[in-house]
């Protein structure tokens, strides 16, 4: 299993206090904790997006990417996305979110999927290599996708 890069480790460390603050808000408001997604833009900014229901369910990935585009412009890109589910739930990007990741992620974007514990598992346990190639078509990865549970 490959190790996280220093940039990925630093990103996770920067996200932890944001995640803690968000979970405290969930507890205060009596909302079931589901943390959504965090992205690291090429400019070094972190954006958090949570899922919500409108005319359709908006996923945390879409919300975080939309926030980045709002703040940095339509041509902005992100290097890392961390998708966090509930206390014992790993959330994987759906087709719509994979398309958004493909459009707004860098060519070597890192996708991290986690529950609230942020412990690592191998990506191939979740996406076998054939499925991996089909799911992430049009995206050129120079490194594996990491998943957390």
Q: Are strands 120-121 and 105-114 parallel, antiparallel or unpaired?
A: unpaired
Confidence class of residue 31 from pLDDT cuts 50, 70 and 90? confident
- Mean pLDDT of all residues in the chain? 77
Is the per-residue pLDDT at 144 higher than 60? Answer: no
Domains of the chain as residue ranges with CATH:
6-148 (3.40.140)
Whole-angstrom Cα Rg for the chain: 15
* Span 17-30, average pLDDT: 86
Per-residue pLDDT of 68-118, as tens digits, reads 999 999 999 999 998 887 777 777 788 888 889 889 998 888 888 877 766
Q: How far apart are CA 91 and CA 81, in angstroms?
A: 12
Q: Supply the pTM of this predicted model.
A: 0.77
**Cα distance between the two ends of the chain:** 15
More confident residue, 15 or 128: 15
Please choose, from the candidates 113, 63, 51, the residue with its C-alpha nearest in 3D space to the C-alpha of residue 84: 113
Residue 35 φ/ψ, nearest 5 degrees: -85, -15
Residue 76 φ/ψ, nearest 5 degrees: -70, 155
Highest mean predicted confidence (pLDDT) among 41-55, 97-111, 130-144: 41-55
Instruction: Show the DSSP H helices in 49-94 as ranges.
Output: 60-72
């Amino acid at each position: 299993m490959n190790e996280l890069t220093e940039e990925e480790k630093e990103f996770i460390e920067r996200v932890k206090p944001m995640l803690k603050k968000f979970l405290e808000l969930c507890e205060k408001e009596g909302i079931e904790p589901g943390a959504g997604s965090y992205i690291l833009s090429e400019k070094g900014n972190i954006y958090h997006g949570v899922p919500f229901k409108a005319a359709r369910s908006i996923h945390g990935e879409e919300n975080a990417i939309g926030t980045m585009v709002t703040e940095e412009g339509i041509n902005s890109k992100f290097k890392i996305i961390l998708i966090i589910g509930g206390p014992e739930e790993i959330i994987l990007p759906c087709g719509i979110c994979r398309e958004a990741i493909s459009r707004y992620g860098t060519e070597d974007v890192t996708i991290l999927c986690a529950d609230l514990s942020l412990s690592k598992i191998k990506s191939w346990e979740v996406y076998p290599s054939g499925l991996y190639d089909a799911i992430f078509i049009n995206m050129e990865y120079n490194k594996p996708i990491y998943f957390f549970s």
